[in-house]
Amino acid sequence: MTPESIAVAGTAQRPRAPLNRLARSLLGWAIACPLAWTALGAAAESDAVPTWAFTPPRDEFSADSLLDLRSLNERTAGETGFVRIDARGDFIRGDGQPIRFWAVNSDVAREPFVAKPRGPKTVPDLARHARFLAKRGVNLVRQHRQISPPTSAPIDDINRAERDAIWRMVAAMRTEGIYSVISPYWAGPMKFAKDWAVAGGADQSAFGLLFFDPTLQAAYKSWLKQLFTEKNPYSGVPLARDASVALVQIQNEDSLLFWTVGGIKGPQRAALETRFAQFADGKHGSVAKALAAWGGDAVAGDAPDEGRLALINLWELTQPVRGTRALRLAEQTEFYARTMWDFNRMIVSYLRDELGVSSLINAGNWRTASAVRLGDVERWSYTAADVDAANVYTAGLHEGSNRGWAVMPGDRYTSESVLRNPKLLPINLKQTLGRPMLVTEGAWVMPNAYAAEGPFLISAYASLTGIDGYVWFSTGDEGWSPPQSANGYLASQQKWTFATPEMLGSFPAAALAYRRGDVQQGAPVVVENRALADLWARKTPVIAEEASYDPNRDSGDIAERSSIQTGVPGEAFLTGPVQIAFDADPAKSKLAPLAKLISADALRSNTGEIVMSPKLGRCTVDAPRVQGVAAHFDTATSTTRLTDVQFTSRNTYGAAMAISLDDEPLRRSHRVLVQYATQSRPTGWTERPATWTTGGKPPASGMEITSIGGAPWRVVSAQLDVAIDNPALTTATALDMNGMSLKDVPLRRNARRVEFSFPDSAMYVVLR
């Protein structure tokens, strides 16, 4: 909820009035005087624009529902065969039909093993969960699990509870036409037992070790075998032969190119340095010849007589380097990359050839210590498998004692809106030519106030750029997630959730437009060819995924042979696909003209269907079957006129979409959904302006949470007028959150269009 427009006091939560000069003056005074903020929030309790309590009834999946996207899915996921990749690098079903994935991360199958607040454990109804998701447009679920055994078991055993959760979830999802992604391992929670004989002992971090430690690798293979080859008792089919398993991720969020590599110590460090010496020996004929080739650049810790070469601190790999040190760092970079690539290739071969797994495979999804210097190196290491992926979130600053997983009283935060800073769009990704790209974790993270723009922007820009799937993170609830404790007992609100009114509530129109292909995919605006030698030398790319990338500053390190010798601004991601080809001729890189697409006033897609105006904080989509606007209406023009639809909003912020439900263009459609999302906070949430400094950084200005409130969510009431140029539409019906009819909405009709005022306590209206 925006500090500019909303204050909450007590339990009735009302939006602040931003519509007159007096209110704006009071708002400025309140920001300057925190003591006055609560008073102004209390005054808003009596404002004419109310909120409504988000208490949707249990979905009974009635045939009378006017909004149910289950028919988009196959009867059974995988019934036509395993998901494959076409010549363009996009997903296709077994029958060759294109498929995009509107997806979620779900922990619901794990819930019997997690205590609920002060009450008995309950077994979730996975069948209901699957039906609930399918109804709202979901066709893939990712399970992020940890199949390593407890330390009380042998290292080559498997965590049987986690395996059972995976099996149950896959079986439940496939019956509703929902595919599965299995992410079975993360180094973060990995624990070693003393008697497992892992070099370095039981107290070390596991980050980085899976790439080279033989004991851990052998155990990991054993876990995979037990997971994929034993019969799933809930489906009768081993996961290796289950076509509803679309993707297997080798591991989650680990890399030798991230800062965690510095935590590899003791015997494990020595083992990695021994491998580096072996790599250098294989390349140059001996360790001595390698040192000579590096201009004699010996460093502290080198032990050539013992067959070890020291690994230089990762920080140096993130910096421009000249001279002999550059030669050594290039080979260290190559060593890290090839170590990861070789491991990925080994596991792909093991899954395919020894376990008979036919699902597609993703190697990783993590970031590096420098997106500019090392991002492309990381992405190259994934080419040993089939599919690329990244985990990217949208969030502002969040400071608090448990900020990694919970929102608590006293926390301070800022809200970041992609509408105002489009470089923060989490799908600004370079895509490897001919390969699918997924975001396997993402969301607009609490307490960010601008989540309503999320599904709107993901649907539009993933369609434009050809991102093949977006996996919202995360839920542990069968349906909607109410405001609740982050761990079941601490006085807090959960942070990592998408199942809120404005995110999950925005799924139907966004998912339908994305999956149906209503917004055109654009032609590539950048195709950068990169020689592997330039990767190892950490030459800067012409465009990077990092928002802070400065092409004017960094372009001096672009490969000399590249046909593009100027940095490409990050805004190019908003204009069309950005692609990269590895081990290719840099002289054949291609850059489309961007002058007409990128200006101070707007960023335009090269299809002409999407316009982002950061100055106004507004984005519009204008395609034949879907038209909409997401905006800060207090700064943007309140009326948005598109080809067939007009929206006039008196809210300060929101996202509206009109979409055809019968595949016809909006002007001829006989069934149209209009969806509108605003903002929400828990009942009783209060906050006040705050300024703080952390870690020597410049002061941050945002909000301090004084009360986290509780259930239910309170949603800012809609203040929206809609006009559609389709006089064939004769009735309008407001729907509840299950798609059931609430009430008729009066239509104003003439020979050219229909008009109506959106109900103040709903998110969906269907016109017929």
Tell me the mean pLDDT in the region 700-720. 97
Mean pLDDT estimate for the chain: 91
Let me know: does 649 contact 716? Beta carbons within 8 Å. no
pLDDT above 70 covers a percentage of the chain that reads 91
737 has pLDDT over 70: yes
What is the three-class DSSP state of 429?
coil
Q: What is the pLDDT of residues 491-531, one digit of tens each?
A: 999 999 999 999 999 999 999 999 999 999 999 999 999 99
First vs last Cα of the chain: how many Å apart?
Answer: 33
pLDDT at 45 over 80: no
| Helical packing angle, 266-284 and 324-349, nearest 10° | 100
Angle (CA) 759-761-766 rounded to 5° is 50
Residue 49's pLDDT band, with cuts at 50, 70 and 90, is low
Q: At what angle do helices 126-135 and 160-174 cross, to 10 degrees?
A: 50
Query: What's the pLDDT at 317?
Result: 97
Predicted local distance difference test score (pLDDT) of residue 39 = 27
pLDDT, position 177: 98
Average pLDDT over residues 481-493: 95
Res. 665: pLDDT tops 80: yes
Sequence-ordered alpha helix ranges (H) in 92-249: 126-135, 160-174, 214-228
**761, pLDDT greater than 50:** yes
Per-residue pLDDT of 436-451, as tens digits, reads 999 999 999 999 999 9
Q: Phi/psi at 535 (nearest 5 deg)?
A: -65, -50
Contact, 470 vs 439, CB < 8 A? yes
pLDDT at 48 over 70: no
Please report, rounded to a whole number, the percentage of residues in the chain having pLDDT higher than 90: 87
The predicted structure's pLDDT at residue 6: 31
241-253 burial code (b ≥16 CB/10 A, e <16): bbbbbbbbbbbbb
Cα 724 from chain centre: 33
- Per-residue tokens: 317: 């790999």
Specify the pLDDT at position 2. 33
Mean pLDDT of 67-79: 98
What are the tokens at 260? Answer: 């965690």
Q: Between vectors from CA 87 to CA 570 and to CA 456, what angle results, nearest 5°?
A: 40
The b/e string for 630-663 (b: 16+ C-beta within 10 A; e otherwise) is: bbbbbbbebebebebbbbbbebbbbbbbbbbbee
The CA-atom distances, in angstroms, between 669 and each of 313, 655, 661, 739 are 61, 22, 8, 19
Q: How confident is the model at residue 112 (pLDDT cuts 50, 70, 90)?
A: low
User: Which range (61-75, 540-554, 704-718) has the least confidence?
Assistant: 540-554
Q: Give the Cα separation of 341 and 334 in Å (integer).
A: 10
Q: Among 39-43, 226-230, 527-531, 660-664, which stretch is predicted with the lowest mean pLDDT?
A: 39-43
pLDDT surpasses 50 at 5: no
Nearest-CA neighbor of 392 among 408, 414, 375, 377? 375
Q: CB under 8 Å to 548, separation ≥6 — which residues?
A: none
The answer, yes or no, to whether residue 22 has pLDDT greater than 50, is no
**pLDDT computed for residue 110 by the predictor:** 82
Contact criterion met (CB below 8 Å) for 1 and 449: yes
- What pLDDT does residue 16 have? 28
CB atoms within 10 A of CB 463: 28
DSSP letter for each residue of 509-569: HHHHHHHHT-SPPPPPSEEEEE-HHHHHTTPPPSS-S-TT--HHHHGGGS-TT-S--SPPP
Which CB contacts under 8 angstroms, 24+ apart, belong to 283-291? 283/331, 290/331
Mean pLDDT, residues 43-67: 81
